[in-house]
Every structure is written in structure tokens, then in C-alpha cells.
């Protein structure tokens, strides 16, 4: 299974502000920039992924041990996919130590901003892995649709053991707890559908405009 070990040169300031729940200028721009800059040095970004055939009628990923997907939204999302890519990414465990240290020492603002920057960082790693995957799928005549993670819609996180097994996530240090949370905490698993380039199907991306959670602190106005 391919291992992705990218450099993290910057962390998105706008996304960090959003993940921190700052719809207005609650904190100074300098404080946010400082957290993003520190995250560049703290993060240990890694990813792993694998491609599988997919039965879009039965919703089964054709692995050595078949993986049946459960949930109407994920099945609809992949309804035109002939293959899928399962991926795992992490920003590493150093981050959690630094965040906990800041909260323990009473630096709550910086700890909160580091946590938000870490969320932005792991999403950037996943974005970069997607672009890296394009090199492999384009010669096969496929296009990728946007990634879908356990916990979105009605796709339950109880599938995490399968996701980690099928992406060899242990090779990059990702495990799961009894409550199906990932460790290190700033880690993500996802599935990407591969649709024939000739198929016009494009699933609608989730957005704040279509989300029913009107009071979400991360909502983009």
C-alpha cells in the first residue's frame, strides 16, 4: 500500500479561524498566525491508501475480506463508482502533547488555536493525498469524487476498524479506541469514489448553505 509522507509548509489561516469557531475577530490575527506557524513544526503528516474494486449495487468493497458499506448517504454518494480508494491520514501525535501542555499551563487561547490549526493541517494532508492519487487514477480512465469520511451523514464510525485495516493505517501509527475514535486524535479516514471519466455524475458537496445545523460554530456566513 502506498505511503504518503509529505512536507507541511503552511497551515491555512482562514480554515484555522473557522475550526476555532471564530466568526468574528475574537483573537488577534497574530495569535492565529503564531499557532499555524507552530503547527508547521509540530506536525508529522503521513498517509496511506489503497485502491479496490467496488460493487455499487451491493455496496461492497472487494477486499480479501469484503467490506459492506452501511448508510444511505454513502451508498448514494458511491452509486456511480466502479472503484474506490480508502485512505488514512494523520498529523501525528506530537500535536496532542503540545495542546495538552498549553492547557495544563493555562495558555488556553494558544491551546485552542493549536487544536484548530491541527484540524486544518490534517485536512490539508488529506487534500494533498487526493492530488497525489490523481497520478495513479487518470491513466485508468477514472475521475475522483470528493472524499467521504465515517461519521458523515448516516455512515457510522463503527466501520473504522475496517477502514484502518484496508488502508494499513498501523504503518503510519493510527489506531482506534473502544469508542471507535482515532488515535492520534488528529487523524482521518475516508473513501473516494472513482467514476469513469465519461460519466457526468458529480455528487453535491456538503456546505454550510445546505447544512441544517444553523448554529454551528464553524459555519461560514
Prediction pTM value:
0.88
pLDDT for residue 137 is more than 70: yes
- H-run or E-run covering 191: strand 187-196
pLDDT in tens, 158-185: 999 999 999 999 999 999 999 999 999 9
pLDDT band at 212 (very low <50, low <70, confident <90, very high): very low
pLDDT in tens, 144-153: 999 999 999 9
E-strand ranges in 91-186 read: 142-144, 175-176, 182-183
pLDDT in tens, 113-134: 999 999 999 999 999 999 999 9
**146: Cβ–Cβ under 8 A, 6 or more apart, which residues?**
192, 203, 205
Fold classification of 3-196 is NADH Oxidase (3.40.109)
* Coil/strand/helix, residue 196: strand
Higher pLDDT, 200 or 216: 200
pLDDT for residue 206 is more than 80: no
Show me where the domains of the chain are located.
3-196
Distance, CA of 35 to chain centre: 20
Predicted local confidence at residue 204, as pLDDT: 66
Specify which residues 86 forms β-bridges with. 50, 191
pLDDT in tens, 48-72: 999 999 999 999 999 999 999 999 9
Cell output for 48: 496511506
Predicted local confidence at residue 130, as pLDDT: 93
Whole-number percent of the chain with pLDDT over 70: 90
Q: How far apart are alpha carbons 182 and 186 in whole angstroms?
A: 8
Q: Which residue has the cell 509529505?
A: 6
**CB of 132 within 8 A of CB of 51?**
no
pLDDT in tens, 6-29: 889 999 999 999 999 865 556 788
Amino acid at each position: 500500500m502506498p505511503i504518503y509522507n509529505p512536507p507541511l509548509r503552511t497551515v491555512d489561516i482562514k480554515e484555522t479561524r473557522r475550526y476555532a469557531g471564530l466568526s468574528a475577530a475574537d483573537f488577534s490575527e497574530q495569535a492565529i498566525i503564531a499557532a499555524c506557524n507552530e503547527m508547521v513544526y509540530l506536525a508529522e503528516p503521513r498517509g496511506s491508501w489503497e485502491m479496490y474494486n467496488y460493487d455499487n449495487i451491493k455496496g461492497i468493497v472487494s477486499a480479501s475480506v469484503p467490506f459492506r458499506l452501511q448508510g444511505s448517504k454513502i451508498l448514494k454518494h458511491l452509486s456511480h463508482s466502479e472503484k474506490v480508494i480508502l485512505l488514512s491520514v494523520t498529523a501525528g501525535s506530537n500535536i496532542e502533547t503540545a495542546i495538552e501542555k498549553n492547557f495544563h499551563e493555562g495558555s488556553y487561547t494558544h491551546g485552542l488555536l493549536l487544536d484548530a490549526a491541527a484540524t486544518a493541517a490534517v485536512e490539508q494532508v488529506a487534500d494533498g493525498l487526493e492530488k497525489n492519487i490523481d497520478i495513479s487514477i487518470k491513466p485508468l480512465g477514472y475521475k475522483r469524487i470528493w472524499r467521504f469520511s465515517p461519521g458523515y451523514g448516516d455512515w457510522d464510525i463503527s466501520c473504522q476498524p475496517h477502514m484502518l485495516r484496508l488502508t494499513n493505517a498501523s504503518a503510519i501509527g493510527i489506531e482506534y479506541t473502544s469508542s471507535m475514535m482515532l488515535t492520534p486524535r488528529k487523524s482521518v479516514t475516508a473513501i473516494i469514489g472513482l467514476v469513469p471519466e465519461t460519466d457526468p455524475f458529480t455528487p453535491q458537496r456538503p456546505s454550510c448553505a445546505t447544512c441544517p445545523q444553523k448554529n454551528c460554530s464553524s459555519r461560514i456566513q
